[in-house]
Amino acid sequence: MKRILLLPLLFIVLGLNAQININIGSTNVGTAPISSFFSYSYVQQIYLKNEINANAAGNITGLTFYLDPSATITDSSNWTVYVGHTPKTAFASGTDWVPSSQLTQVFAGTVTKNNNKVEVTFTTPFAYNNTDNLIVAARENAPSIDINNFDEAFHVYPYIPNSTLYYKGDQAVVDPSSPPGGIRADYKSSITISGLTVKTTPGCPFILYPANNAEFISLSPNMSWQPVIGATSYKVSLGTSPGGTEVVNQQTVTAANLNLSPSIVLNRNTNYYLKVTAVSANGESTGCTENIFKTIPPIPANDACSGALQATAFPYTYVQGDGMSSTNNAGFITACQNDGMNDGLWFRFTGDGSQYTIKASPATASFDPKIGIYSGTCNSLACVATKDNGGGGSAETITIPTTAGTEYYINIGSYEDTVDKPEDVFTITITKL
C-alpha cells in the first residue's frame, strides 16, 4: 500500500519541479505581458531557446507573471493568451507582429493576483519543440484601467533590443489578426514556464555583437553577449574557421564582464567565427552555436589624394562600397580655412570651362557626407568650394564653374573637422552641364 501511495506522490513532486524561472527576481515594471494603465493592449514577447534552456521538448502547461506588491489589476484582468514558435530573435519594426495564424490560443478568461503573481493555466498544453524560440502573446480586453504607483504593474527585466512589441490604447479591443502599429521595448516579462524542466548546465549566451552574418566589422571589435542566469564566468573563442581558436582560445571572462576585445588587431576582409559559452558550478553550456562575421574591406585605392579616381566621361557615377575602410591619412583637410573636414575618399577630373555638378548620396543614415573641391596638387590644395547642408543620410550637391586645363580634386568625407568619423557607402555623380 505504501508503494502505491508513493508513486502518485512522486509524480506530483516531479510535476512541481517541471518549471523554468526566468529573471523572476526583477523589480522593474513595464508594458508586458499586458498594459494595466490603458484600457486595451496586445503584447508579443520573444523568449529565446537559449534563454529558456529546457532539457528537452515538452508540453508547456502554464505561465506565471509577477507584479509589483502595491499593484492592482482588478480592471485589467480579462486576458486572452497565445503562444507559438518563431525563428525571430527580435522584432524588426513596430509592425513586425508574429501572425496570429502562427499562434495557438491557450487561455481566455479572468486572471487574478495572488501572492504578487498571476498564474495562467493553459486550457490545452502547448507542445514546445525546444528548437525554435517561444512567442508569448497576451491581449487585455477589459475597458477600464488600474491606477498604480508606477503606471504599469508587471515586473520586467532588460534583454536584447526589441524583444517585446506592444500596442496599448483606449479605443477598442485589439484584433490579433490585424494589430495596429506598436512600440518595441528592450525588456520582457519576468516569467515562470510550467511543464518544462531546465537543464542543469547554464544556457548558451546570446551574442549581441557582432551579430551573426554581420559585415564591415572593425578590426578591434568589442564582442559582447547577454548575461546567463546562474553563470559564474564565460569562455570566449575566436578563429578564422568553424571551431577555430587561434585568435582567442577559450579565454575566461568573469561574470561581471559581458564583453571582450581581441588582444590582437584582426585582419581585413576576413571571416571570423565567435563562440561564447557560460560556466556555472554545474558545468558549461553545451550546443552553443557560433556567430560568423566579416571585417571591413581593405583600404580603398582612392583613400589618399594621390590615389584619386579620375573621371573622364560624363555623367560619371561611382559607388564607393568600401568607404568604411578609409583612413584620415595625415589628418583633417583645412584648405578651406575654418571649413575643414575629414580626409575621406578622393576623385578628380580636368576642367574644360564648363560647369560641373557633383553629388554625394550616402546609403546609410549614419553617414553625414561633406563635399570638398580643390585645385592645385595633392601637396598644395587650394579651396574651390565646399558643401554640407544636410545631416546624416542626406545627399549633398554642389555646382562649380571650371577653368579649361585645371585639375580639380574632390573629397567626399565626414563633415567633422576635429573628429575622425568613419565614412560609409555612398554614390558620387559628376555631371557636366
The domain 305-432 having CATH identifier 2.60.120.380: the answer here is yes
Q: pTM for the whole thing?
A: 0.79
The SS3 of residue 17 is helix
Sign of CA dihedral 349, 350, 352, 354: positive
Q: Give tens-digit pLDDT for 416-431.
A: 988 998 899 999 999 9
Cβ count within 10 A of residue 59: 14
Among 431, 430, 413, CA closest to 422: 413
Query: Which H helix or E strand runs over 51?
Result: helix 49-52
Q: Sign of the C-alpha dihedral, residues 67, 71, 74, 78?
A: negative
pLDDT band at 148 (very low <50, low <70, confident <90, very high): confident
Does the structural domain 16-194 have CATH classification 2.60.120?
A: yes
Going from N- to C-terminal start, the domains of the chain cover: 16-194, 207-295, 305-432
Q: What is the pLDDT of residues 307-363, one digit of tens each?
A: 999 999 999 999 999 999 999 998 899 998 778 899 999 999 999 999 999 999 999
pLDDT of residue 150: 76
Four-point Cα dihedral 328, 334, 339, 341, nearest 10 = -10
Instruction: Give the pLDDT confidence of 150-194 residue by residue, as tens digits.
Output: 789 999 999 999 999 999 999 899 999 999 999 999 999 999 999
Task: Read off the amino acid at residue 368.
Answer: D
- d(CA 388, CA 339) in angstroms, rounded, equals 10
Longest dimension (CA), the chain: 109
**Fold for the domain defined by 207-295:** Immunoglobulin-like (2.60.40)
| CA-based nearest residue to 432, from 370, 351, 355 | 355
Fold equal for 16-194 and 305-432: yes
